[in-house]
Structures are given as C-alpha cells and as structure tokens.
C-alpha cells in the first residue's frame, strides 16, 4: 500500500510512495505524531536527479527490515530540496556544522520540534570503508534518544542557537559602512584579478576537478572587459599585432587585466563547448565535469545550468560581435546559443513550462539503471557513424566507471588556433560540415533507440524564469526580423543568423504568461500569488522565495523588450502572447522588497518567508548554483530604475498614499538606493571568494554605467540588442520632460541614455554605434 507521498507534487517524493518506509511529508502533523509517540524524526532530503539518493533508496528504503526499524523508532519525513529550498538550507547548515561538509542525500535526525541533533549524508546498508551501516546509525540514534535524552536536549539547544546565528552570519559580520554602496571600479578590478588567480590556463574554468560551469563569473569578466574598454582597445591592439583572434586559444594569460578577462572567457567556453560535458548531439550541458578537462560529466542536466549557459553565451556573443563579426569565436558563441536554446525547447519543455531536470541514470541494455547509459558509446557503436567529422570518443582522465566513452568535439580547439585555416562561406566551421551533420544525425538515431533519462516534471518558478530570460535575450540578440546583410551566422558566415530566434522568443513569452496565469493573473480583484513550483497546474508545498520573485520580475522585464519598442508583446508582436504591464511588474517588485527586506542601519535581506515550523529566515548572499536572492533582487532594482517607474504611469502604492514620506513606493531614487545597498555586501566577498558572488559582481559591473536605448525602430533595436554595453531596450527614455511626460522618441530614431543624461536622437546605425561605443 502506498504511503503519504503518493499524493505529493514532487516526482522525487512520489518515487518513494511504494517504499515500505511509512514516509510523511513535511508538516506540523508529522512532527506532532513524533511528539505523541515520543520518538525522534528522521528527515531525508534529496532531489530527483541525485544519483546517491537513488542508491540509498534502493539499498535501504526499499529494504523491508530497514524500513521496519525506521517505522518502529522514528517518524520518517521525505523532503524535495527543490520544492522547499529554505528547509533544505536550514538543515544543510546543521549538517555542515556537525560534519564539516554537506551533500545529498541529506540524513537528519531531529526532535519532534524539528531541532537537529545528528546528521549525515549517504549511509550504506552494510559497513563500507569509514561509513557505518545505516542500521547501526538508526539503532545508535534511537538508543541515544531513549537513554541520553538530556544530552540530546543540550545538543539541540546549542545547535538551535548556532543555526540562528548561521542564517545571517555573512551579512551580520559586515559593518554597515561596508554595505552602504556598491563596489567601485577599482574594487571590481581587484575582484576580477582575484578570480583570475584561480583560472586554469590549460583547460579553462577555475580551480580543479570536479569542475562546475562558472557562467555567472564569465558574465562578470565580460562586463569587466567592456567596462575597461576592451571592445575598443582590443581591436586597436589587433590591428597592431594581428593577435586578437588567437587570444585564449591556448589559455595563456597576458598579464593585462582587460585581455586576461577575454582570454579566460574564451578559454573556458571553448573547453566546455568542445568537451563531453556539453552534449554534442542534442545540445545542452550536464551538471558538472568529474575531470579537469570537461571530458566526462555527471550526466544529470539541470534547467538552471542550461539557462545560465545560454545567457552567458549571448553575453559572450555580443562582445565577440563588437570585436569582429567574422571571427571563429563569434561562430562558436552563436553555435552555443543555437544548440542550447533548441535543447531547452526540445528536451526540457512540457507544455508551456520548463521541467526541472533530466536524470543522470537511465536503463541500460540489461534493463538496470546506470549513470550515463543514455549517452555513452563503445567504439563499435561509434563505428556506425564513422570517424569522418568533428565528433570523436574520449576516455575519462578521472577514471570514471562508465560502460562506454563520451562523445566530444575537442578538434574545435585546434580549429580555433589554426590561423592558416580559412573561415568563409566555402570553409564552414567544423560543426557545420556535411560530415559532422551525418555523424550527429547518426548518433541521435542511436541514442533515440535507448531509454531516455527520467524527467523531473516540476516547474520551478526561479528556474523557469532563468530560462525565459535567457531565451528572450537569445531572441533579442538574433533579431531575425531585421538581420543586416553583413551579419554572420552560426557555423558559416554565409548562413542566416540564428534562424530559430522567433521560436525562442515565442516560447519565452508563452512560458512567462503560463506562470503569470498560474499565479492568478486575470482573476478579478486578486493579487498575484507567486508560488515556488507547480506540477501540472497543482502548486507545490513551498511559498515562493526572494529568488523566485526576483527572477520572475526580471523575466517579465526582459520579455517586454521583445515587443514593439519595449511595449508588452501582443498577438501581432514577436511573442504571440501578452505580457505584464510595467505597473504590475513594479507593483510585484514593491511587494517583494516589502516582504523580503527590512530597513535598518544595514539593509536586511531574507531569502524566504517564515516557515510554519522553522521560524528562522536565512540571508545568504552567496551565488552558488544559481544567483542568490539578494543578487537577483539587485538586478530587478537595476532594470526597474533604468525603465524609470515614475514616468511610466506606475500607480501610487497604498503605502505611499497612507504616508507620503514612506520609503515603500518604488521611485527611481528608491530603486537606486536599494541597488547600492543590495550590492554593497559583495564588497567583503569579492576579494576573498569571487567565485561565490559572480552574479552579484556582474550586477555591480552593470550598475557602474548602465546604458539604455530608447527606440521603436526595428533595425536600431537589433543593433542595440547586440551591443555589449546596452543594459536595456525601452520604448521611451524614462526621463520626463518639463511637463512630466515621457520624452517621445521620433520614428526611425534612437536615443541613448546613461542615467538621466540622454543623447539627441540618431537615425543611422553608425551614429548609434558611435554613441554606444563612447
């Protein structure tokens, strides 16, 4: 008989519904049962694509004897960390405090009040190495609960105090004056230099194996490159030395910060794009590489990784286009845009939303689950498609235990560094040749005959919003409706530029609108209720956190740019669906800042609303696998301030009507202050841990000199969308005239604004380019 998890919205929890363990979901009722029975709580936290979560489930939670031991001595609670990230973060702090490291599956033993007193990760069914058997752990914890209750009480009291302090430890440790304003140019230079100290010149990326895709840090470095004048000075240097197009092919840093930023970005993208962590057949990237060379991945594919990879590729392509529209580097950047965007639509879309992840494991030919079974090949398999073409098999330098080899495209590195190899209409990039196309088609046929990895069908607001923003930016960059005759395309300079960009824009707008409806848009008199996740149309158990709210608003502001001159896209527009008004996005942002921040000597920022059981609200500014709630909120403040909410018809807030002196209404001045105080926290982190604040540093780079272009002209908007200095494209300047009305932009013209300083209208591409380059 199925347990309580059968009714869960989480595919991960439902996978445990037939366990003999009497699993409960996270609730007051489950903890009350533990109190009534006077037993501790066993809390198991994981997620659907977690390999070792599956292993522990098969070894222990499906075992009748182990399940009987759990059921007799504990109340067992299963949690999907992706549905309840605040609960996961709380217990992860406990695990790290007790064991010095964390991971999943997370195994927590707690009192009926939820206070942890023992923790671990994976436990085997029998002793293995330094790990005790899970049955030994269960027996020892149960006996300690029965015989040493006073010691348990003392431990939980200490832990409760420690966890309360850990929740805000980073921000509490910073003096108020350090967080009062965003970082200066000199501080951002120092942050970039500190990051580059850990760059791997041979294989790209930062640090050693395992390597995770550092996309937020790459966007930080690209912004630093632009700020330092790299798009101009590098071109001048190239004319003098002829070396620009080769920068980064061998990963060698030049010792000059502006060039080092570009080299590190190129070297990292080239190595990832040519390795086995990047799916060379279907597109998209896996979670991380087990080796330094990016050859062999941990095969799970996460929506957020691919969204960030796409956004970073668009950011990179803008820089490369500014340097040389006919370069090999630009061709590679646009290849990554096209393949990743198509992967999101083909493999990670369900209806109008995006699923959370694809599993690392799938059924092999013997019918058993195996990591990478959907992707690896034997030499005999590969012989079916032949050696002619770009693709080849690679072995794992880390000695990964796989049943085959991984497909890679490492010859791309050679091609990038070969100056004597022409690149023109008659000599396409190696991934665009007929031979490689045949290889890729043949490999897809082989893989399509295999069992596909399971998909986690949850639609997580934060992650969907990241994908929407990335797809919308890819569509904006591509500008398929107004491609200039001299534009260079994917694979070959003669091909049309990214021809699927209309499809990407429509999918982005449809996904945003689907979330918008799910939150109650269109219901008479009802305020939107932003949720953390949905499975189908059923909301998950978690309230939306700061990151969910912030990324949803950012996605909405990005989608608006797909319409006519920044107006919401309509049925006749690019997206094919409607989008939120600026008033609504500003209102949502005001609610977000009211609920997740508190004014004081410093600006307190909370990642989540209070849980009904755990009242501690965390405040972690670190950008980890995704942007932190704080840095995501800073992007909202940056973009809304650029739009100019006062001059866009924003309705006065109830807070402002009740108290004219209230700081609640989101004026541009208020947004600028919020942006500064949100980003100020990264002053202390930037020099010591730049890899942990890439998105925050990227926002700080953008905040130094944001540029917006106001225009309704299609050709000029396309040029602006491809320029690396532009922060936002709007329909109006956002700066009111002497009568308080938005400045009208003449038809066929564009105006460039930096803050409240706006240019005279310009009507030609050369004039606009000159303003932006300046």
Q: What is the CA radius of gyration of the chain?
A: 26
The Cα–Cα gap between 341 and 474 comes to 8
Distance, in Å, from the CA atom of 436 to the CA atom of 433, rounded to the nearest integer, reads 5
Residues present in the chain in total: 774
Handedness of CA 679, 683, 689, 690 (dihedral sign): positive
Residue with tokens 């308080």: 740
Where does the chain hold its CATH 3.40.30.10 domain(s)?
A: 4-167
Q: What is the 3-state secondary structure (H, E, C) of 660-723?
A: CCCCCCCCHHHHHHHHHHHHHCHHHHHHHCHHHCHHHHHHHHHHHCCCEEEECCHHHHHHHHCC
Please report the pLDDT score of residue 495 as a whole number.
Answer: 38
For residue 224, which of 254, 255, 252, 265 has the smallest C-alpha distance?
265
Distances from the Cα of 211 to the Cα of 271, 342, 557, angstroms: 12, 24, 32
Give me the helix-helix angle, 328-347 and 461-478, nearest 10°: 140
Q: Which two tokens mark 479?
A: 């500008």
d(CA 519, CA 276): 39
Query: Which residues share a beta bridge with 44?
Result: 78, 107
H/E element holding 54?
helix 51-56
**Of the candidates 108, 109, 137, 124, which has an alpha carbon nearest to the alpha carbon of residue 52?**
124
Give the tokens for residue 72.
Answer: 């007799």
Nearest residue to 84 (alpha-carbon basis) of 124, 54, 114, 52: 114
Between the two ends of the chain, the Cα-to-Cα distance in Å is 70
Complete DSSP assignment for 385-447: T-S-SS-EEE--TT----SSBEEE-THHHHHHH-TTS--BTTB--GGGSHHHHHHHHHHHHHH
In whole angstroms, what is the distance from residue 719 CA to residue 763 CA?
12
Q: If residue 729 lies in a helix (H) or strand (E), which one and from where to where? A: strand 728-730
Q: What is the pTM of this model?
A: 0.93
| DSSP, res 183 | P
pLDDT at 491: 43
Contact 28, 114 (CB under 8 A): no
Q: What's the confidence (pLDDT) of residue 149?
A: 93
Rounded Cα–Cα distance for residues 599 and 577 (Å)? 38
Q: What is the pLDDT of residues 281-300, one digit of tens each?
A: 999 999 999 999 999 999 99
* DSSP summary character for residue 209: S
**DSSP string covering 303-369, please?**
HHHHHHHHHHHHHHHHHHHHH-TT-HHHHHHHHHHHHHHHHHHHHSEETTEE-SEE-SEEE-TTSSE
The predicted structure's pLDDT at residue 528:
86
Phi-psi region of 527 (alpha: psi -120 to 50; beta: other; left: phi over 0): beta
How much is the pLDDT for 60?
97
How many Å apart are CA 143 and CA 157, to the nearest integer? 20
Q: Does domain 4-167 have CATH number 3.30.429.10?
A: no
- What stretches in the chain show pLDDT beneath 70? 167, 169-178, 234-249, 398-400, 480-497, 499, 522, 524-526, 564-578, 645-664
Residue 661's pLDDT is what? 38
For Cα atoms 661, 665, 666, give the angle at the middle one, nearest 5 degrees.
Answer: 130
Contact 262, 255 (CB under 8 A): no
Question: What local confidence, expressed as pLDDT, does residue 651 receive?
Answer: 40
Q: Computed from CA positions of residues 355, 359, 362, 368, in that sequence, does the dihedral angle turn out positive or negative?
A: negative
Name the nearest CA neighbour of 334 among 486, 477, 485. 477
| Angle, alpha carbons 265-267-272 (nearest 5°) | 95
**In sequence order, what are the beta bridge partners of 78?**
44
């Amino acid at each position: 008989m199925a347990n309580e998890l059968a009714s869960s919205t989480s595919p991960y929890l439902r996978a445990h519904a037939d366990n003999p363990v009497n699993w409960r979901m996270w609730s007051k009722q489950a903890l009350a049962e533990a109190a009534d029975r006077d037993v501790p709580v066993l809390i198991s936290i994981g997620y659907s694509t977690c390999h070792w979560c599956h292993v522990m489930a098969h070894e222990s939670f499906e075992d009748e004897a182990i399940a009987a031991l759990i059921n007799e001595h504990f109340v067992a609670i299963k949690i999907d960390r992706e549905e309840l990230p605040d609960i996961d973060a709380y217990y992860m702090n406990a695990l790290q405090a007790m064991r010095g490291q964390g991971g999943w599956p997370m195994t927590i033993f707690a009192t009926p009040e939820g206070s942890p007193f023992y923790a671990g990760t994976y436990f085997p069914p029998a002793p293995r190495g330094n790990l005790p058997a899970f049955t030994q752990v269960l027996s020892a914890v149960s006996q300690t609960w029965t015989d040493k209750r006073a010691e348990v009480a003392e431990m939980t009291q200490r832990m409760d105090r420690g966890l309360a302090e850990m929740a805000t430890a980073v921000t509490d440790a910073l003096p108020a004056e350090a967080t009062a304003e965003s970082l200066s140019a000199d501080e951002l230079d120092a942050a970039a230099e500190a990051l580059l100290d850990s760059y791997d010149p041979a294989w790209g990326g930062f640090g050693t194996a395992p390597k995770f895709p550092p996309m937020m840090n790459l966007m930080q470095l690209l912004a630093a490159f632009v700020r330092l004048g790299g798009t101009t000075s590098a071109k001048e240097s190239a004319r003098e030395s002829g070396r620009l197009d080769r920068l980064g092919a061998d990963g060698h840093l030049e010792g000059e910060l502006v060039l080092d930023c570009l080299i590190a970005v190129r070297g990292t993208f080239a190595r990832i794009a040519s390795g086995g962590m990047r799916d060379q057949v279907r597109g998209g990237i896996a979670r991380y590489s087990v080796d330094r060379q990016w050859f062999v991945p941990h095969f799970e594919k996460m929506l957020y990784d691919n969204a960030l990879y796409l956004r970073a590729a668009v950011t990179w392509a803008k820089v490369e286009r500014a340097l040389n529209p006919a370069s090999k580097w630009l061709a590679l950047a646009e290849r990554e845009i096209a393949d990743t965007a198509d992967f999101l639509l083909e493999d990670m879309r369900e209806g109008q939303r995006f699923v959370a992840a694809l599993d690392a494991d799938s059924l092999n030919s013997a019918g058993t689950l195996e990591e990478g079974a959907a992707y690896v090949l034997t030499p005999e398999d590969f012989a079916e498609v032949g050696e002619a073409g770009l693709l080849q098999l690679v072995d794992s330098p880390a000695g990964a235990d796989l049943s085959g080899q991984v497909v890679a495209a490492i010859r791309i590195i050679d091609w990038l560094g070969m100056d004597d190899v022409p690149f023109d209409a008659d000599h396409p990039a190696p991934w665009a040749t007929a031979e490689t196309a045949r290889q890729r088609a043949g490999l897809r046929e082989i893989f399509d005959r295999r069992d596909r990895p399971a998909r986690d069908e949850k639609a997580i607001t934060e992650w969907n919003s990241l994908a929407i923003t990335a797809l919308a930016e890819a569509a904006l960059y591509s500008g398929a409706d107004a491609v200039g005759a001299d534009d260079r395309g994917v694979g070959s300079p003669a091909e049309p530029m990214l021809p699927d960009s209309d499809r990407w824009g429509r999918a982005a707008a449809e996904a945003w609108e689907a979330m918008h409806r799910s939150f109650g848009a269109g219901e008479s008199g009802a305020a939107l209720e932003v949720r953390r996740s949905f499975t189908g149309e059923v909301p998950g158990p978690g309230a939306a956190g700061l990151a969910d709210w912030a990324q949803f608003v950012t996605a909405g502001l990005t989608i608006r740019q797909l319409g006519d001159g920044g107006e919401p896209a309509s049925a006749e527009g690019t997206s094919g669906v409607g989008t939120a008004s600026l008033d609504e996005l500003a209102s949502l942002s005001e609610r977000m800042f009211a609920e997740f921040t508190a004014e004081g000597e410093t600006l307190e920022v909370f990642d989540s609303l209070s849980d009904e059981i755990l009242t501690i609200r965390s405040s972690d500014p670190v950008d980890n696998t995704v942007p932190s709630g704080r840095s995501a909120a800073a992007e909202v403040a940056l973009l809304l301030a650029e739009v100019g909410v006062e001059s866009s018809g924003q309705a006065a807030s109830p807070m402002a009507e009740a108290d004219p002196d209230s700081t609640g209404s989101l004026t541009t001045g208020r947004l600028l202050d919020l942006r500064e105080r949100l980003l100020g926290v990264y002053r202390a982190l930037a020099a010591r841990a730049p890899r942990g604040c890439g998105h925050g540093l990227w926002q700080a780079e953008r905040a130094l000199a944001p540029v917006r272009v106001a225009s309704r002209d299609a050709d000029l908007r396309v040029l602006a969308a491809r320029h690396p200095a532009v922060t936002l494209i709007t329909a109006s300047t956002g700066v009111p005239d002497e009568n308080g009305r938005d400045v009208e932009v003449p038809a066929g013209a564009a105006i460039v604004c930096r803050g409240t300083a706006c240019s005279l209208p310009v009507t030609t591409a050369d004039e606009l380019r000159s303003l932006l380059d300046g």
